[in-house]
Chains A and B, each alone.
Chain A
Amino acid sequence: MAERERFAHLLRRATFGPTAQEVDAAEKAGFAATVEALVAPGGEDPLGLPALGPDPFTAINRNSSREERQAARKARNEQVQQLTAWWLRRMATAKHQFSEKLVFFWHGHWATSVQKVDSAQLMLKQLNTFRTLGRGDFGALVKAMLRDPALIIWLDGQRNTREAPNENLARELMELFTLGIGGGYTENDVKAAARALTGWTLERTTGQVRLEPKRFDDAEKTILGRTGRFDADGLADLLVAQPVSPRFLASRLWFRFAQGDVVPAEAAQRMVSAYGSGRDVTAMARAMFSDPAFAATRGQLVKQPVEWLVGAVRQLEVNADRQGEVVRALNALDQVPLRPPSVGGWPSGAAWLTTFALQTKLRLAQSLAVNASAAVVDRLAAAPEAGRPEALARLLVVDGWSEATRKVLAPLKVPHRLLTMGLASPEYMVS
Chain B
Amino acid sequence: MDTLTRRKFLIASGVVGGAALAAGATALTLRDILATSGDRPEAAGTLVVVTLYGGNDGLNTVIPHADPAYRSARPELAYQGSEVLRLDDATGLNPALKEMHGLFGAGRLAVVRGVGYPKPDRSHFRSMDIWHTAQPERPGTTGWLGRWLDRAGGDPRLAVSFENVLPPLLAGASSAGAVVGLREMKLPVGIKAETLTALGQGAQGASPLLARACHCFTDLVRVDEMIRDVKEAADSTPDEPAPGGTGTGGQTALAEQLDLVAQCIEAKAATRVFSVSLGGFDTHADEKEPHQALLGILDKAIGSFWKRMSKVDTKVVMLIYSEFGRRVKANASDGTDHGTASNLFLIGEGVKGGLHGDQPSLTDLDNGDLKFGLDFRDVYAALVERVLEADPGPILGGWRGRAEGVL
**A positions within 8 Å CB-CB of B:** 113, 115-116, 154-156, 159-161, 163-168, 171, 175-176, 181, 187, 190, 299-302, 332, 334, 340-344, 347, 349-360, 362-363, 366, 402-405, 407-408, 421, 424-427, 429-430
Known: A349-B209, A363-B188, A366-B190. A161 touches B332 (CB 8 A): yes
Please, which residue of chain B has its CB at the minimum distance from the CB of A333? B164
Find out whether the CB atom of B220 lies under 8 angstroms from the CB atom of A359: yes
Pairs across A and B, CB under 8 Å, 11 listed: A167-B284, A167-B331, A302-B209, A332-B181, A342-B279, A352-B165, A354-B179, A356-B164, A357-B164, A359-B184, A362-B191
Known: A187-B367, A341-B247. A353 touches B216 (CB 8 A): yes
Find out whether the CB atom of A354 lies under 8 angstroms from the CB atom of B243: no
Find out whether the CB atom of B332 lies under 8 angstroms from the CB atom of A340: no
Find out whether the CB atom of A358 lies under 8 angstroms from the CB atom of B247: no
In the bound complex, residues from chain B placing their C-beta under 8 Å from that of A301 are 209
Please, which residue of chain A has its CB at the minimum distance from the CB of B176? A350
Rounded to whole angstroms, the CA-CA distance of A175 and B200 in the bound complex is 39
Known: A344-B124, A349-B209. A408 touches B217 (CB 8 A): no
- Tell me the chain B residues, 228-258 only, with Cβ under 8 Å from chain A: 240-241, 243-249, 251
Find out whether the CB atom of B165 lies under 8 angstroms from the CB atom of A171: no
Q: Which of A332, A342, A363, A430 has the most CB of B within 10 A?
A: A342
In the bound complex, residues from chain B placing their C-beta under 8 Å from that of A165 are 331-332
Complex partner residue of B251 from A341, A356, A366, A424, CB under 8 angstroms: A341
Please, which residue of chain B has its CB at the minimum distance from the CB of A155? B246
In the bound complex, residues from chain B placing their C-beta under 8 Å from that of A421 are 195, 199
Find out whether the CB atom of B181 lies under 8 angstroms from the CB atom of A171: no
Please, which residue of chain B has its CB at the minimum distance from the CB of A159? B333
In the bound complex, residues from chain A placing their C-beta under 8 Å from that of B251 are 341
Please, what's the 1-or-0 string for B194-215, where 1 marks a CB less than 8 Å from any CB in chain A? 0100111110001101101110
Find out whether the CB atom of B249 lies under 8 angstroms from the CB atom of A342: yes
The 8 lowest CB-CB distance pairs between A and B, nearest first, are A159-B333, A164-B332, A402-B202, A354-B179, A356-B181, A404-B202, A426-B213, A404-B201
How close is A33's CB to chain B, nearest CB, in angstroms? 29
Q: Which of B176, B245, B333 has the most CB of A within 10 A?
A: B333
Complex partner residue of B180 from A167, A181, A355, CB under 8 angstroms: A355
B-side interface residues, number (CB < 8 Å): 65
In the bound complex, residues from chain B placing their C-beta under 8 Å from that of A358 are 216-217, 220
In the bound complex, residues from chain B placing their C-beta under 8 Å from that of A334 are 164-165
Rounded to whole angstroms, the CA-CA distance of A341 and B250 in the bound complex is 8
Find out whether the CB atom of A181 lies under 8 angstroms from the CB atom of B241: no
Complex partner residue of B285 from A159, A163, A175, A426, CB under 8 angstroms: A159
Rounded to whole angstroms, the CA-CA distance of A349 and B208 in the bound complex is 11
In the bound complex, residues from chain B placing their C-beta under 8 Å from that of A366 are 188, 190-191
Please, what's the 1-or-0 string for B315-341, where 1 marks a CB less than 8 Å from any CB in chain A? 000000000000000111101011000
Interface of chain B: mostly helix, strand, loop or mixed: loop
In the bound complex, residues from chain A placing their C-beta under 8 Å from that of B201 are 404
Known: A332-B183, A349-B209. A187 touches B122 (CB 8 A): yes
Rounded to whole angstroms, the CA-CA distance of A347 and B247 in the bound complex is 13
Cβ of B5 under 8 Å from chain A = no
Find out whether the CB atom of B243 lies under 8 angstroms from the CB atom of A116: yes
Rounded to whole angstroms, the CA-CA distance of A350 and B191 in the bound complex is 23
Please, which residue of chain B has its CB at the minimum distance from the CB of A167? B337
Find out whether the CB atom of B246 lies under 8 angstroms from the CB atom of A166: no
Find out whether the CB atom of B164 lies under 8 angstroms from the CB atom of A350: no
Find out whether the CB atom of B246 lies under 8 angstroms from the CB atom of A168: yes
How close is A1's CB to chain B, nearest CB, in angstroms? 14
In the bound complex, residues from chain B placing their C-beta under 8 Å from that of A356 are 164, 179-181
Find out whether the CB atom of B333 lies under 8 angstroms from the CB atom of A175: no
How close is A187's CB to chain B, nearest CB, in angstroms? 6
Find out whether the CB atom of B187 lies under 8 angstroms from the CB atom of A342: no
Find out whether the CB atom of A362 lies under 8 angstroms from the CB atom of B212: no
Find out whether the CB atom of A156 lies under 8 angstroms from the CB atom of B246: yes
Find out whether the CB atom of B210 lies under 8 angstroms from the CB atom of A355: no
Known: A355-B179, A356-B164, A404-B202. A430 touches B213 (CB 8 A): yes
Cβ of B297 under 8 Å from chain A = no
Complex partner residue of A154 from B181, B209, B243, B246, CB under 8 angstroms: B246
Please, which residue of chain A has its CB at the minimum distance from the CB of B252? A334
Find out whether the CB atom of B206 lies under 8 angstroms from the CB atom of A402: yes
Please, what's the 1-or-0 string for B137-180, where 1 marks a CB less than 8 Å from any CB in chain A? 00000000000000000001000000011101001000010111
Known: A154-B246, A405-B199. A342 touches B166 (CB 8 A): no
Rounded to whole angstroms, the CA-CA distance of A154 and B248 in the bound complex is 12
Cβ of B349 under 8 Å from chain A = no
Please, which residue of chain B has its CB at the minimum distance from the CB of A403? B202
Complex partner residue of B187 from A332, A359, A408, CB under 8 angstroms: A359
Find out whether the CB atom of A355 lies under 8 angstroms from the CB atom of B223: yes
In the bound complex, residues from chain B placing their C-beta under 8 Å from that of A168 are 246, 282, 284, 337
Find out whether the CB atom of B246 lies under 8 angstroms from the CB atom of A353: no
Q: Which of A350, A360, A408, A425 has the most CB of B within 10 A?
A: A350
Complex partner residue of B178 from A350, A351, A355, CB under 8 angstroms: A355
Please, which residue of chain B has its CB at the minimum distance from the CB of A431? B209
Q: Which of B195, B213, B224 has the most CB of A within 10 A?
A: B213
Rounded to whole angstroms, the CA-CA distance of A175 and B126 in the bound complex is 10
Please, which residue of chain B has its CB at the minimum distance from the CB of A154? B246
In the bound complex, residues from chain A placing their C-beta under 8 Å from that of B249 are 341-342, 344
Rounded to whole angstroms, the CA-CA distance of A116 and B165 in the bound complex is 21
Find out whether the CB atom of B210 lies under 8 angstroms from the CB atom of A408: no
